[in-house]
Structures are given as structure tokens and as C-alpha cells.
Structure 1
């Protein structure tokens, strides 16, 4: 089961790219700052001219955990699953699910 948190106008481009198997993050068109999660204004220059940029999806895993108890009923059927804190090659950090290997692998 795939659980998508509440999609909003602000986060829709992220989820649309994810549905297509791409990772897209917000980019400030004024200063070039890349940021995640999506915000209504740039965290660097506070500009509101924001767009979306596809990124590689590669990065460095700094830590991870295997979740064995659901934190929400919507995740009950997915236990166990692994989540990680990742610094993307392009700079921003994100928390993501680990797929393609067993949670304990």
C-alpha cells in the first residue's frame, strides 16, 4: 500500500514527479537555492519565485532506522520498513523510505 501524506497545492509537483519515478525539489529562481520540504518562500532570500528541479536522487545516508511499530494506522500494513536521513548530492537533506532491499538488509 502506498500512503501519500496530504497533497496540497504547494506539494503537488513533488508528488506528481514521484508518481513518475522522479525526484523533484523546489528551486528558487531568484537565488538558485534548492530546498526540501517545499516552502511558500525561499529559506535563503525569502523570494517567492519558486520552481521545481529534477535531481539525481543520489546522496549520502547519514542515519537510518527500521520502523517496527506503526506511527499511524495507515502504515500498519507496511511494517517493518526502513527510513533514512539523506543529504542529496545537490545539497538539500531529506527523510526518505529505503526500498529495494529487506528492512534489516
Structure 2
């Protein structure tokens, strides 16, 4: 095919891969259902994120998956204004470190939000971002 006949395909957004070291299936299954499910150390009685093979607090395998509220506040935030892979058509993109009510922090996009609306301390709730068909990803929106 010559250069003149090349068809420009729509940009593909990168999708996450499941870890080969930690079973993250409960996390991804939860997001697909619109729920946020995190690891919980039954000994320390605390949540942790990102998923790990052992508890951050005890170093033991005393972990189980539990649903959390999906609510929290913006701990830190920024606005992506420079185009890059996977953000085509989404600029400006609001991104935040969210501290969940359960005490863990996650970095995620804040959907349906203008750059002037995003601010430290604002309350947020779980939203689901569809990266591609069948690939739900955790995000937040202003509460």
C-alpha cells in the first residue's frame, strides 16, 4: 500500500494489564461492576492500594478484598494540557491524587470536570472510565 492509501485509524488508548505477581482480578471485576474493591489487611485492619502479595503493615499474607465507599477528597491535582498517547480528545484532562475515606490514596482522572473546578480538598466519588470496550478503569468525579 502506498503512503497515499494509508488509512489513519482512531488512536488507541492504552489499557492496563493484570499483574503476574498479584491476583488483581477482584479489583478489575469490581471496577467493571462500578465498585471499588481494595485489599484489606485483616491483622492491621487497614486498606492498602496498589495491590501487593503481602500486607504493607505486617508483611504477612493476611489480605482479603473488600469493597470501599469510593468516596474521598482531592489530596493533590493537576491539569494535563499537552497531548500524548491515550489522551487524544481529552485535553485538558483533570488528574488527581484522591485520598479515599478509608485512608488510601489513588491517582486517577477526574471526569466531567473543568480545570477551574478541580481543587485540593474537594470531595469526589467513584466514576468509571471506559478506556476501550470491555476495559473499565477507576476514575472520579466531583461529588
> What TM-score bracket applies, with the shorter chain setting the length?
0.7 to 0.9
2:18 maps to 7
Q: 1:79 aligns with which of 80, 91, 98?
A: 91
What is the RMSD of the two structures over their aligned residues, measured on CA atoms? 2.1
Instruction: Give yes or no for the alignment of 1:22 onto 2:31.
Output: no
The residue correspondences of 1:22-101 to structure 2 (distance < 5 A) are 22-71=35-84, 73-101=85-113
Unaligned runs of at least 5 residues, structure 2: 1-11, 118-143
Moved over 4 A (4+): none
More helix by share: 1
Taking structure 2 as the reference length, the TM-score comes to 0.62
2: CA distance, partners of 1:12 / 1:103: 33
How big is the shift at 1:34? 0.5
Counterparts in 2 of 1:66 and 1:76: CA distance versus 1, 3 Å: same
Task: Decide which structure has the larger Cα Rg and report it.
Answer: 2
Taking structure 1 as the reference length, the TM-score comes to 0.81
